Structure 1
Amino acid sequence: MSTEKPEDDGERPCPSILHFTVFTSNERRYLTYLLGYLTLASSLTATIYFPLIEPLSHQYDVSIQAINLTITLYVVFQALSPGVFAPISDSFGRRPVLLITFFIYCVASLGLSFNTRSYIALLLLRALQSIGGSAVISLAYAVVADVSVPAERGKILGPMLASTNLGPCFGPVIGGSIALSTKDTQWCFWVLLIFGASSLCLIGWTMPETGRSIVGNGAVRPHPVWRTWWSLLMNSNRELWNSGEASVGDNVGKTGVGVFSLPNPFSSLRLICYQDTSLTLWSAASPYAVWYCIQISIPIIFSQQYGYDDLFVSLCFLSGGTGVILGGFLAGRLMDRNYKKVAEKAGLLVNTIVGDDLREFPIEIARSRGSYFLHLLSVCALAGYGWAIECSIHPSVPLIFQFFIGMKCTIVLQWFSTLIVDIFPRKSGTAAASNNIMRCTLSAIAVALLQPLQNSLGKGWMFTLIGLIDGLSGISAVWLLQSNGLKWRRERLENN
């Protein structure tokens, strides 16, 4: 038996400390689509660049390795940026941080659009672009944790991440099409500038503050700094109640302004040291690194081995991208279904109004339910992908394997990315940042080892080895989390 949320007619419920959130279903739905659009900043900016590697090397008169260095630098700052901005958002709110990061992103994109000769400027501006665009995914996970109970987070995360995953799917196609049709790489940066400017406007005009240190459960009227430009223009604040109330336990004052503490940008690194969080972070980072390796290998394999031009190479990203999009939808639905199944088996009530106390809930089991099958599927798909390429089988075969690999990686990544936020509910931004640091660091290491492994083992054994490492380590991590995760979490909470 479960406690169900009463029918939502779109009206805001009476502000109460008994509600986890007073944001209506329509407002949460809008946030879902808005976050899906904003999080394209990370994936689209990274993948639109892949088909430009060779044209950029000619344009700036540098080697392919020099352009690859810009990718490496991008990934480095992709790991560092959330570690700075996400913890700050836990104390100072989501809106100001998102506005700052997208302003940085727009400035960098504008500079790249005008820079046609300086390689040093390209290097530095891509790093700045990464700083501005890479924190958004961690911030989006934090917003989801702000406005949804654990039992229903998949309902928001599924569509949000499916939208986000359009970046890896269409980014290379956009980049390849522009490079082939215009012979001018600057148009790609103009596209990113237009995207960044539109995102900045959407945040400023329409996105309400959700940070629980600022508005509690949404029932607190914030200072104008945290209000939308539209509400300031209309001299009203329809998106938040002027009640001064907040959720129980939230660090909110009567005026709606949180009692701030100076955030430590490197606090997310400490989370890696705990037993349960280190296993959770690995379980999220490993599939991300695997998929990054697949994406990096696509241009080389399908251009050199199958003889495709830039446009057709770009189209080869669509197969895996379709699996990634489908995986995003499936992950959200399965996540909420698994939560209810585990609660029912444990004899626990599911409270969708106040939210469940996860200190007594086996959330590790709920978020990892079904992972064993997915890891075994991954081993088989990666081995099949590697040997299909090694034996130069018809290109449709590796493309089919790409679909299943992309779907599996997305589902597992989403499950464990949600778990790390679940087990740190009051530091959701910091937790999401630690996830980003781990997966970007592991991806950078994996990409650096990719070519040496291929030279020594060949493509077949290389992808088989990647599959075995990802699958066996993932299975081990899931077993340990399901066996000891709740106990380790309780011990950590008691010690802290």
Structure 2
Amino acid sequence: MSEIKPTVHSHTGEAIFAAPLAETDAQEAEPATNARSAVPYTTFTKAHKCLITVILTSTMLASPLTATIYLPLLPLLAKHFHVSIQAINLTITLYIIFQAISPLLFATASDSFGRRPILLVTYALCTVSSLGLALNKSSYAVLLVLRGVQSLGASAVLAIAYGVIADVCPPAERGGMQGPTMGAANLAVCLGPVIGCLVALGTGSYEWVFWALVIFGGGVLFLVGFGLPETARSVFGNGSMEATGRGKTWWNLFQARSKMKRAATEIENVNEVVDEKNGCGTKVGPGMKAKFKMANPMAAIRILFWKDAALVLWMAGSPYAVWHAVQTSIPSIYADTYHFNELQIGLSYLTGGFGTVNGGYLNGKLMDWNYKITARSIGHTIDKVSGDDLNNFPIECAKARGSYYLLVIYIAALAGYGWSVQARAHEAVPLILQESLEIFGGPDIKTIN
């Protein structure tokens, strides 16, 4: 993304559990009079940011909801399509593969063409594939293909949403927007399986689960189309430039058409907005079209060969792989070991879901807190107006601060979870440990990346 750069985590700071500093200790810059601070980082107001937060929260439900609402359906799908559980598990594997591919394509495209049009395309893909899954009655091959397309549309949303947050929030304030957004979006992780179970039990079929996704996708597509402004800094700078063409919301287009009968508008001078942080800009004016160059999505693969970046990606990817393994195994574990019925299996996802909600909220607080403490430790003054120049700020130290402690607790919870299942401990034990995995694994993943 244009504002989120790969970081090199060669250092970690003190424990994050130290007593928080008083606000007077954190050095924050007042609106300065120098030339650099004269250009605000963004022109979006608090009201605009609140609206964007609500819309982003809705869009970010797509990936966890489409992934988890499907899990309780595995036995039902195997029986309906006359295939083994292993064959149905292959649809989950394919979903995960496209989860890796989708951000490479769409997140990169959103930097070049803007967030709005790419979000609309991805949600359209997700909604249409859900419709196909609802209409598919007998073909396992179609189920396999459409799950891949569904993942392709849903999985890019998180990366694009992070880009939107970076567009409208300076580095010191991103945690305040990302934390509540992730906390609310992660609610889908615990609600998805419950919704899947309730719908399947109430209808006796899997089709209505996908119809529910069609309704959800269509509603969010409508919300994005009418309410989400274009924020990409590579296209519209800090937001001071009036949106044109595909950058306009559907509501703006409706208003523009209603004004077409008025007097002809005056010809405006060509405006140029340059983002001094990114060194990128675009010229837009009446009768002119901005030229965009599509970045090579495969260029991101090069990051895998950077030693420090590869370590960070491994640290983030490992807990994510564990999460998928745990989520996929829950129906079998609680059905075979604890003899849960379908509804109880769906409810067993709630503990882990509550952990992701709490972890997402905690993550946002930790991000801003660690940023302030790191700034204070090096005598840096936080610029909340124009944003800090991250080339001269140890952002990797701020994000990785205290990650050792989170990793130790996470690994201990994971080992305890495996032991509790093997020893057939009381069902409350693995359920509590599921929540611990999400609380301490979630913030660790997000804070250091």
Structure 2 length normalisation: TM-score?
Answer: 0.86
Residue identity matched to 1:26: A
AA at the equivalent of 2:404: Y
1:222 Cα offset (Å):
2.7
Cα distance per residue 1:74-107 (max 9 Å; x no partner):
1111111111111111111111111111111111
1:341 is matched with 373
Code of the aligned partner of 2:280: N
**Cα distance, 1:81–1:64 mapped onto 2, change above 3 Å:** same
Which amino acid in the other structure matches residue 27 of structure 2? S
- C-alpha offsets along residues 166-196 of structure 1, whole Å, 9 cap, x if unaligned? 1211111111111122111000000000111
| Mapping 1:45-444, distance limit 5 Å | 45-235=66-256, 244-248=272-276, 249-255=278-284, 259-417=291-449
- The structure-2 alpha-carbon separation of the partners of 1:155 and 1:188, relative to structure 1 and needing over 3 Å to count, comes to same
Of the structure 1 ranges 308-317 and 109-118, higher mean CA displacement relative to structure 2 is found in: 109-118
Please give the alpha-carbon distance, in whole angstroms, between the structure 2 residues aligned to 1:378 and 1:202: 37
Tell me by how many angstroms 1:391 deviates: 1.5
Q: Matched residue of 1:316: which SS?
A: helix
Q: 1:393 to 1:207 in 2, by over 3 A?
A: same
Task: Name the CA shift for 1:377/1:78 in 2 (closer, same or farther; >3 Å).
Answer: same
**Alpha-carbon deviations, 1:142-173, whole Å to 9, x = none?**
11111111111100110111122112111111
> SS where residue 381 of structure 2 aligns?
coil
Name the CA distance, whole Å, in 2 between partners of 1:25 and 1:379: 39
Per the TM alignment, residue 236 of structure 1 is displaced from its structure 2 partner at its CA by 9.1
Residue pair 1:252, 1:259 contacting (<8 A) in 2 also: no
Which residue matches 1:484?
Answer: none
Q: Secondary structure of 2:375's partner?
A: helix
Structure 1 residues 391 and 36: alpha-carbon distance in aligned structure 2, compared to 1, 3 A threshold: same
- Partner-residue secondary structure (3-state), 1:235: helix
Structure 1 stretches of 4+ moved >4 Å: 256-259
Alignment-derived partner of residue 44 in structure 2: 23
Mapped to 2, the partners of 1:307 and 1:53 lie a distance apart of: 17
* 1:434 corresponding residue in structure 2: none
Q: Distance in 1 between matches of 2:65 and 2:52?
A: 20
Distance 2:50 2:365 in 1: 15
Tell me the distance in 1 between the aligned counterparts of 2:187 and 2:257: 36
Distance verdict in 2 for CA 1:388–1:350, change over 3 Å: same
**Cα distance, 1:4 vs structure 2:** 4.2
* Equivalent residues in 2 for 1:445-460, closer than 5 Å: none
Asked whether the equivalents of residues 291 and 409 of structure 1 are also in contact (C-alpha less than 8 Å), the reply is: no
Bigger RCO (CA 8 Å, 6+ sep): 2
Could you say what secondary structure the match of 1:254 adopts?
Answer: strand
Contact 1:87 1:267 in 2 (8 A): no
Whole-angstrom CA distance in 2 between matches of 1:304 and 1:235: 61
Preserved contact between residue 196 and residue 209 of structure 2 (Cα < 8 Å): yes
* 1:41 paired residue among 31, 53, 62: 62
Quick one: which amino acid aligns to residue 302 of structure 2? R
Q: Distance between the aligned counterparts of 1:183 and 1:4, measured in 2?
A: 60
Residue 263 of structure 2 corresponds to: none
Which shows bigger deviation, 333-342 or 255-264? Answer: 255-264
What amino acid is aligned across from residue 90 of structure 2 in structure 1?
A: L
Q: Which moved more, 1:268-277 or 1:46-55?
A: 268-277
Residue 244 of structure 1: CA displacement?
Answer: 4.7
Q: Could you list the per-position Cα deviations for residues 398-442 of structure 1 after superposition, in whole angstroms to 9, with x for gaps in the alignment?
A: 11111111101110111123xxxxxxxxxxxxxxxxxxxxxxxxx
CA distance in 1, matches of 2:311, 2:175: 21
Q: In the aligned structure 1, how far is the partner of 2:65 from the partner of 2:141?
A: 23
| Partner Cα distance (1:261, 1:276) in 2 | 29
What's the % identity of the aligned pairs? 45
Q: 1:252 to 1:222 in 2, by over 3 A?
A: farther
Structure 1 pair 4–360 and aligned structure 2 pair: CA distance change class (3 A): closer
Unaligned runs of 5+ in 1: 7-15, 418-496
Aligned residue for 1:234, secondary structure, equals helix
Structure-2 change in CA distance of 1:243 and 1:5 (3 Å): farther
Q: Which residue type is aligned with residue 252 of structure 1?
A: G
Contact 2:271-2:284 within 8 A present in 1 as well: no
1:211 CA drift (Å):
0.6
Are the counterparts in 2 of residues 19 and 353 from structure 1 also a CA contact under 8 Å? yes
Contact preservation (8 Å) 1:221, 1:243: no
1:392 Cα deviation from its structure 2 partner = 1.2
Question: 1:416 and 1:259, CA in 2 relative to 1: closer, same or farther beyond 3 A?
Answer: farther
Following superposition, the deviation at residue 5 of structure 1 comes to 6.0
Partner SS for 2:243: coil
- The equivalent of 1:467 in structure 2 is none
Q: What is residue 444 of structure 1 aligned with on the other side?
A: none
Q: What is the CA-CA distance between 1:29 and the residue it aligns to?
A: 1.8
Question: What corresponds to 2:14 in structure 1?
Answer: none
Kept in 2, the 8 Å contact 1:212–1:250? The answer is no
Measured in 2, the distance between the counterparts of 1:114 and 1:207 equals 31
Q: CA RMSD, aligned part only? A: 1.9
Q: Distance in 1 between matches of 2:382 and 2:318?
A: 31
Shift of 1:262: 2.6
Question: What is the TM-score with the length of structure 1 in the denominator?
Answer: 0.78
Give 1:2 deviation, angstroms.
2.7
| CA positional deviation for 1:125 | 1.2
Deviation at 1:254, TM superposition (A): 3.2
Compute the displacement of 1:258 (Å): 5.1
CA offsets 1:46-70 (integer angstroms, 9 cap, x no match): 1111110110111111121221111
Equivalent AA in structure 1 for residue 196 of structure 2: G
Distance 1:186 1:68 in 2: 18
| Structure richer in helix, relative to its length | 1
